[in-house]
Amino acid sequence: MADKTDERIEGQKASIWQAALVTYALEIRAKLGMPTMDPREAVRKMGLRWEEVEAAVPAVKEWLAKESRGPGRPQKAEDDSAAHPGTWAVMTAVRDYLMKNPGAAAAGPGGVRTFYSQGFREFVVTLIGPGGPGEGMTLPQAEYATGVSQRTLTAWRQLMGTRSRQETPK
């Protein structure tokens, strides 16, 4: 291999993981028919033992296979917040309640915190609770449909004795 590569490798203090990555890269270069050097020689020049590095190469390959993306844009995360069949009914009911009950929800000073009336709290918990149009909604779905944060919904459900479904994995 060219002297420049030897100079870059020679005397470099590398970790076993770095050396395993170099070893894998040299394997790929060889498969592509590109100029390369013996991986054992590269590891020796890095001041490491071949046996340790050789044992780490499969883990590096596995990690790279898992972490590397293929060509193109990454897939968008699936947003299921509107997927529940009762979403529209819950959204409409919340809107109608707020229109008929001014002051049921009000932003606090600076818009940092929202204050809700007891009637609104009970109404929302009923909507997303057993028998309501939002029954079975996950917390993210209920947040989307009601406009009330997941944390607040969880607190309301606990206060009113309604069990909440766990958030689905993202």
pLDDT digits (tens), the chain, 170 positions: 444 544 544 555 568 878 888 888 888 888 888 888 888 888 888 888 888 888 888 888 888 888 777 777 777 777 777 889 999 999 999 999 999 999 999 988 887 889 999 999 999 999 999 999 999 999 999 999 999 999 999 999 999 875 544 433 33
Distances (CA, A) of 88 to 92, 97, 98, 139, 146: 6, 14, 16, 16, 10
Q: Which backbone phi and psi does 164 adopt, to 5 degrees?
A: -105, 145
**Alpha-carbon gap, residue 155 to 133, rounded angstroms:** 20
Tracing tokens 């395993």 back to the chain, one arrives at 20
83 touches 106 (CB < 8 A): no
| Count of residues in the chain | 170
Q: How many CA atoms lie within 13 A of 71 on its CB side?
A: 0
Report the distance separating Cα 161 and Cα 158, nearest Å: 5
Q: Which two tokens stand for residue 133?
A: 């149009």
Model pTM score: 0.52
The pLDDT value given to residue 69? 72
